[in-house]
């Protein structure tokens, strides 16, 4: 009996699926897909075990095996629905199509199982053999349809996480479809298909195991060049592979003896599944493209294709995705990568993170203007290879990499972006998926593209600044009308004061005076509410100012109505250089914003801390909070207001601009539904007036930091 190929085939299926079930249940059962795969592995193990037992001892009966067959289909279709649910959750598959597929599958399974139970329990033979075969074929087609819908409607990045699972399940249903279609055509199940069926199921288990183990390892999308050579080579390879497959199948059938037909079916099925795996493998495609570039072309790049691709990317005038993100993708694609980040120079000379693509970003994202990396780029147009740097830091004169880049685990290349001969930005490219050997051609192309894209980034920034200046000009023009109204109010009040000595005892004059004053108060209140605008021409003089006393007076002023802010902790003596009125306006605006965002029963707390020559004021509220997107894109952007007509959207912008002029900064952390915390850092007066050490002055004036100890 052990010489029976069918028994050996199904023993292999039972053992492999049993091991798959053990692997899943001991390590991976968090997701619905993992639990559904475990159920499918258990049911398939029971199904193959029943066929083995039937071969040895003649039981279970046909109907038990038929019901196990349907149960096996149900388990695999349940797995597909778990995958389909994941696709539907991403919004890629319409609910109507999902409902049609689900109802059709459930109805077909219920009918087949119900008629089978009636025949087994009551002996009612309702379905004929051909009808059962049609039901099996229909289930196979539904399974293939579900796989097709899952694959076609999944995003490109999500396909990689289910690639092997889709290949395995599709092969399983496709094999059953051909087997039952052949049986319907010839009136019986072919021995070749039946004997090879267990081995086909068993050899698909590695695909399921690989998918389970690598389920949380996301692959990298590539921007592949020279597509014509690649696709032509793929077609030639596929044609040669199928030709060899046909020859091999012929000899397997001839030399296989009694097992020839079954071995031929097994050989064809596994070979086609292997071919599909090769075609869909991103790793193999990436390595093939690198090999094609090395061996079949004089240059590594098709410069015409690269230039046209970059032109198409940059010709898009929309802001979706933003221009810095598109520039990052272009630079990364030149070296077969799909991750990176870009920093651009801000008004203070530091470099601020503008975009990141498939890259984890740490807490500290700014690159200071006096860092070693910036000094190097100011003197040399070099591309820093961080892999070479980590292997031999001496080759880069012990260059100190900024924390914003050093904390990125897969950082690879650091590229300077120049506007004319001045450093305008810094780009970082992540490590590629396949090993890429860089030479002069790579670096030259990257430098040329970096300069071209830098010009566009600078042009976009200039356009943004011009637009902002035009908006401020519009505000100035609108203020002219407000000033006209203020002059009218002043004239009315001046007239009242002038006539008061003559008519102070006239009741009619008193009534008119009250009405006029009330009208003036209301008019000025409305104007003040709309006239929050920066006044750069009148910055005021900076004088020593006790920040602690100023904060205490602000608390008294804003404690008249709930929620009432309170001061926590110790109140250190903090003297800063600032204009009292402007600093009062800035801090008052932040406190008022906290009150506006916090319900009356909420809390607003202030605290002062001294650290490294700076005083930091923390304003924490338990209000509605803000999203990270709002903080990054709208909070400090002028003319972006969430208060409708009651605000012009320049208060937060004006506050940050003035604090930065004092040499400080404003940082914000917030979470929707929890609250917000504004951290206002201002240098202490003694720290600003204290002269810098002579060694520090010498260091800052040198273009490159000394590498040797002084004598």
pLDDT tens digits, one per residue of 357-408:
888 877 778 888 888 888 888 888 888 888 888 888 887 888 888 888 888 8
**Least confident residue range of 84-88, 202-206, 511-515:** 84-88
Task: Give the three-state DSSP class for 314.
Answer: helix
- pTM attached to this predicted model: 0.37
Mean pLDDT (whole number) for 197-214: 84
| Digit-coded pLDDT (tens) for 246-263 | 656 656 665 666 666 676
Structure-token match 């203007």, residue found:
369
pLDDT: which is higher, 446 or 274: 446
**Least confident residue range of 118-127, 189-198, 509-518:** 118-127
Mean pLDDT (whole number) for 86-106: 60
Residue 489: pLDDT over 80:
no
For the stretch 639-678, what's the b/e string if a residue is b when 16 or more beta carbons lie within 10 angstroms of its beta carbon? ebbeeeeebbbbbbbbbbbbbeebebbbebebeeeebbbb
d(CA 396, CA 403): 17
Contact 575, 544 (CB under 8 A): yes
| Digit-coded pLDDT (tens) for 594-613 | 888 889 889 999 999 988 88
Confidence (pLDDT) at 290: 58
Contact 192, 261 (CB under 8 A): yes
Contact 705, 699 (CB under 8 A): yes
Largest CA distance in the chain: 130
CB atoms within 10 A of CB 529: 13
Among 453, 427, 438, 457, which residue's Cα sits nearest to residue 306?
453
């Amino acid at each position: 009996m052990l010489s029976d190929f069918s028994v050996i085939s199904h023993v292999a299926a039972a053992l492999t699926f049993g091991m798959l079930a053990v692997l899943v249940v001991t390590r991976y059962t968090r997701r619905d897909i993992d639990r559904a795969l475990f159920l499918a592995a258990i049911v398939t193990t029971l199904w193959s075990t029943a066929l083995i037992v039937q071969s040895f001892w003649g039981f279970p009966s046909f109907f038990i095996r038929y019901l196990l067959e349907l149960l096996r289909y149900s388990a695999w279709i349940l797995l597909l629905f778990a995958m389909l649910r994941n696709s539907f959750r991403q919004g890629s598959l319409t609910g109507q199509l999902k409902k049609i597929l689900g109802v059709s599958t459930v109805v077909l399974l219920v009918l087949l199982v119900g008629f089978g139970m009636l025949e087994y329990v009551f002996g009612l033979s309702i379905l004929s053999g051909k009808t059962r075969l049609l039901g099996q074929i229909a289930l196979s087609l539904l399974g293939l349809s579900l796989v097709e819908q899952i694959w076609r409607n999944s995003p490109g990045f999500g396909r990689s996480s289910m690639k092997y699972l889709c290949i395995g399940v599709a092969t399983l249903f496709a094999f059953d479809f051909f087997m039952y279609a052949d049986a319907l055509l010839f009136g019986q199940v072919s021995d070749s298909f039946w004997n090879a069926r267990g081995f086909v199921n068993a050899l698909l288990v590695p695909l399921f195991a690989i998918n389970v183990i690598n389920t949380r390892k996301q692959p990298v999308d590539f921007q592949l060049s020279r597509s014509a050579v690649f696709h032509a080579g793929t077609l030639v390879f596929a044609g040669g592979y199928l030709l060899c497959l046909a020859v091999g199948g012929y000899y397997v059938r001839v030399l296989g003896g009694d097992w020839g037909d079954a071995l031929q079916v097994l050989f064809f099925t596994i070979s086609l599944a292997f071919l599909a795996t090769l075609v869909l493998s991103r790793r193999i495609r990436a390595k093939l493209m690198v090999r094609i570039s090395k061996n079949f072309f004089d240059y590594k790049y098709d410069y015409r294709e690269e230039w046209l691709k970059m032109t198409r990317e940059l010709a898009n005038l929309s802001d979706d995705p933003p221009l810095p993100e598109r520039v990052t993708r272009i630079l990364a694609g030149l070296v077969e990568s799909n991750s990176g980040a870009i920093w651009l120079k801000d008004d203070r000379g530091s470099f601020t993170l503008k975009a990141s693509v498939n890259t984890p970003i740490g807490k500290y994202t700014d690159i200071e203007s006096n860092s070693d990396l910036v000094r190097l780029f100011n003197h040399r147009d070099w591309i820093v290879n961080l892999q070479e740097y980590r292997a031999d830091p001496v080759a880069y004169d012990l260059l100190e990499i900024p924390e914003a880049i050093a904390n990125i685990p897969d950082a690879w290349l650091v590229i300077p972006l120049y506007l004319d001969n001045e450093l305008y930005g810094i780009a970082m490219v992540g490590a590629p998926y396949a090993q890429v050997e860089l030479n002069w051609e790579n670096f030259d192309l990257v430098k040329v593209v970096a300069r071209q894209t830098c010009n566009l980034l600078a042009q976009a920034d200039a356009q943004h600044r011009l637009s902002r200046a035009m908006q401020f000009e519009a505000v100035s023009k609108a203020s002219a009308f407000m000033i006209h109204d203020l002059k009218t109010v002043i004239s009315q009040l001046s007239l009242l004061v002038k006539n008061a000595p003559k008519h102070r005892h006239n009741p009619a004059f008193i009534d008119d005076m009250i009405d006029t004053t009330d009208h003036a108060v209301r008019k000025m209140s409305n104007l003040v509410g709309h006239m929050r605008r920066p006044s750069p021409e009148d910055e005021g003089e900076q004088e020593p100012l006790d920040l602690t006393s100023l904060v205490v007076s602000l608390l008294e002023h804003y404690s008249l109505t709930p929620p009432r802010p309170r001061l926590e902790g110790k109140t250190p003596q903090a003297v800063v250089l600032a204009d009292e009125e402007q600093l009062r306006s800035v801090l008052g605006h932040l406190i008022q914003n906290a009150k506006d965002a916090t319900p009356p029963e909420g809390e607003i707390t202030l605290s002062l801390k001294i650290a490294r020559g700076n005083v930091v004021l923390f304003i924490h509220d338990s209000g509605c909070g803000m999203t990270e997107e709002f903080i990054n894109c709208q909070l400090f952007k002028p003319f972006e207001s969430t208060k409708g007509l009651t605000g012009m959207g320049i208060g937060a912008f004006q506050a940050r601009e003035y604090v930065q002029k004092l040499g400080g900064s404003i940082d914000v952390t917030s979470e929707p539904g929890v609250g917000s915390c504004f951290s206002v850092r201002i240098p202490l007066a003694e720290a600003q007036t204290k002269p810098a050490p002579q060694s520090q002055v010498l260091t800052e004036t040198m273009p490159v930091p000394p590498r040797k100890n002084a004598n």
